[in-house]
Amino acid sequence: MNIEMIEAAAARCAGHIRKTPLIHSPFLDEIAGRRVWVKPECLQHTGSFKFRGGWSAVSALAPDDRARGVIAFSSGNHAQGVAAAARGHGIPAVIVMPRDAPQLKIDNTRALGGDVVLYDRAGGESREEIGAALAKDRGLTLIRPYDEPQVIAGQATTGLEIAEQAAAEGITRAEVLVCCGGGGLTSGIALALAARAPGMTVRPVEPEGFDDVTRSLATGKIQSNLGPQMGLCDAILTPQPGTMTFPIMSRLCGPGLVVTDAQVREAMRLAFLRLKVTPEPGGAVALAAALFHHDAIAGDAVILTISGGNVDPAVFARILSEGEVA
Amino acid sequence: MNIEMIEAAAARCAGHIRKTPLIHSPFLDEIAGRRVWVKPECLQHTGSFKFRGGWSAVSALAPDDRARGVIAFSSGNHAQGVAAAARGHGIPAVIVMPRDAPQLKIDNTRALGGDVVLYDRAGGESREEIGAALAKDRGLTLIRPYDEPQVIAGQATTGLEIAEQAAAEGITRAEVLVCCGGGGLTSGIALALAARAPGMTVRPVEPEGFDDVTRSLATGKIQSNLGPQMGLCDAILTPQPGTMTFPIMSRLCGPGLVVTDAQVREAMRLAFLRLKVTPEPGGAVALAAALFHHDAIAGDAVILTISGGNVDPAVFARILSEGEVA
């Protein structure tokens, strides 16, 4: 992985991915005690940054391989990103999804042209076996969600945009908080910024109980989550950092930050109220850290990602109704 | 009003207003039967396009006048736009608001530095008298919400951006649907597009029962709303088109479109679900027209504004909960 590979991904993605804005609100600045800049990837095609990695990976395939199609495992956002990227290239995409994934994500993946195969996460079915059999039969190429160089290079285009947009605002030094699951977005942004905005430090953010990356960074080796595999922040509940992403994060990132579900819900309400965008829970952890863990952050400006916005309306409505935002 | 005045407003606003993106979703395209391009001005500073006109007007004042401060009458979005523009210039702003305006808009106007003076809309207090007395005492300049050339020129910067962004997508011919109250945004965009994208036709969109502009355009003279003055779409319930905006709309715009409150609520849900942004009711009428009045629209692409997103969380939550969006 190097900056040339990221620049090449950006060139393949140009005109296909959406360049999301870098936005802010004086109301959020006041809560955080510093200027808060938000990169709302919920406005990306398919509602999350995953479309960047999907497009990068599909567009990087050799034409013959690409023509046979791709396959992905995903509980949601990677599924939609790969399905939409495959449709954009006119090729088939098989998406293996857990039966208990949010219904909206399953529906959207189908509507985006994905051939969805459901499996029973609790019942012990192996998605790897299901996928391997399908891939072999049809000659499909597997697009991994984060341990895949071209996927990381695609997510890294978010970092290229942050570097350019922050420079335009006069910001060259800042902590950059990234919602972190397997680490594809985090390591991609870290690689891009190391090359294009070396005064910035990327810090992964995770929900309480799923702080595998934070603990891995603190101990210097890969740690797993021990608790339940389900939680509010479904998009980023990976069991451990990737074998490809962890060394990158370990080399380039600052310490992780961990937020509570209550802070996530409050961040979702504030994003609605002050930014007019709709983060999903997993997409709101970095905003929650910026707003409610400001003592753990340095500098007079902080940049953060809202990584996705694919949240069921009933869930969002309930979270809006719960809150009392002054 | 001419394009030079609009370009001058754009130059004064550069670096202060946010250039909002032009976004779309294949799910919305499918409902509308054509490509639907959305200009989400809810992402503008203060949550609506009104900041453009506010900044344009305040920045155009002579320095001595500006230093004394400005005054505005508004139920909400113009109030916030003028308050924020005044604060950005370091000058005072008195905002005269009806006591029954949405609480969020009153709170925000105060938080943005506006000196809010409430009046009783139902009780017959005259905001003009209140305002005139304040203006005289303190030498404040009145910033009208739409019948004000520099405000129209500011709103017109939305049209300059649409022309440029649509051209980048290869679109030179389209109907452009604009959420319409007094007609400042509508006439501004129409002026900008007449000069920069003459293949486009602006069409105002209004809620049922408040279709004064549509009827005025159809009959060729200014018509008023006869019914109640309150409704779901609070941001755009002006009694009649402006004396300055109507001749512009009459010369440049196509026929108006009228949508129901049920269509507005459905458009709000679909904006949440497919675009990850949060229109207020008055900001969703143009999207409602694009989605549910597609037989009244020509061409294979339609462009529309989401003019604002300042909606109380409880209202948005209720509208999300009501719906059944497949």
pLDDT tens track for A259-301: 999 999 999 999 999 999 999 999 999 999 999 999 999 999 9
CA A322 vs CA A193, A198, A286: distances in Å: 38, 41, 21
Q: Which of A90, A121, A142 is the last residue of a domain?
A: A142
Which two three-digit tokens encode residue B32? 């509308």
Q: Do A92 and A197 fall within a single domain?
A: no
Identify the domain containing residue B103 by its residue range. Answer: 50-144
CA dist., res. A262 & res. A318, Å (int)? 13
Q: Do B23 and B68 fall within a single domain?
A: no
Residue B238: closest CA among B246, B86, B155, B107? B246
Q: Do A235 and A279 fall within a single domain?
A: yes
- A3 Cβ contact partners less than 8 Å away, ≥ 6 residues apart: A191, A192, A195, A196
CA dist., res. A187 & res. A49, Å (int)? 13
Set of chain B residues whose Cβ sits within 8 Å of the Cβ of A275: 43
Q: Which of A100, A127, A142 is the last residue of a domain?
A: A142
Q: Do A129 and A174 fall within a single domain?
A: no
Task: Supply the pLDDT for residue B326.
Answer: 37
Q: Do A133 and A219 fall within a single domain?
A: no
Q: Do B221 and B88 fall within a single domain?
A: no
Nearest-CB residue to B21 (from A43, A107, A313): A43
- 3-state class of B69 per DSSP? coil
The answer to whether the CB atoms of B314 and A320 lie below 8 A apart is yes
pLDDT tens figures, B191-208? 999 999 999 999 999 999
Domain of residue A21, CATH code: 3.40.50.1100
Q: Do A94 and A235 fall within a single domain?
A: no
Q: Do B21 and B159 fall within a single domain?
A: yes
Checking phi first, is residue A276 left (phi over 0); if not, alpha (psi -120 to 50) or beta? left
Nearest-CB residue to B42 (from A107, A112, A276): A276
CA-nearest residue of chain A to B48? A276
Predicted TM-score (pTM) of the model is: 0.94
Name residues of chain B where pLDDT drops below 70: 227-228, 323-326
Set of chain A residues whose Cβ sits within 8 Å of the Cβ of B272: 278, 313, 316
How many domains is chain A partitioned into structurally? 2
Q: Which of A108, A142, A176 is the last residue of a domain?
A: A142
Q: B313-322 and A313-322 helices cross at what angle (nearest 10)?
A: 150
Task: Supply the pLDDT for residue B13.
Answer: 98
Which two three-digit tokens encode residue A106? 């399953």
Q: Do B265 and B119 fall within a single domain?
A: no
- 3-state class of B96 per DSSP? strand
Q: Within 10 Å of residue B168's Cβ, how many Cβ atoms?
A: 10
Do B305 and B286 contact (CB within 8 A), yes or no?
A: yes
CA dihedral of B301, B10, B91, A270, whole degrees rounded to 10: 30
Q: Do A179 and A296 fall within a single domain?
A: yes
Name the phi and psi angles at A25, rounded to 5.
-145, 135
The answer to whether the CB atoms of A313 and B273 lie below 8 A apart is yes
Q: Do A28 and A121 fall within a single domain?
A: no
Name residues of chain A where pLDDT drops below 50: 325-326
Do B48 and B71 contact (CB within 8 A), yes or no?
A: no
- 3-state class of B23 per DSSP? strand
A interface test, pick of B276, B277, B315 with most A CB neighbours within 10 Å? B276
Set of chain A residues whose Cβ sits within 8 Å of the Cβ of B21: 18-21, 43
Q: Do B115 and B188 fall within a single domain?
A: no
The answer to whether the CB atoms of A276 and B317 lie below 8 A apart is no
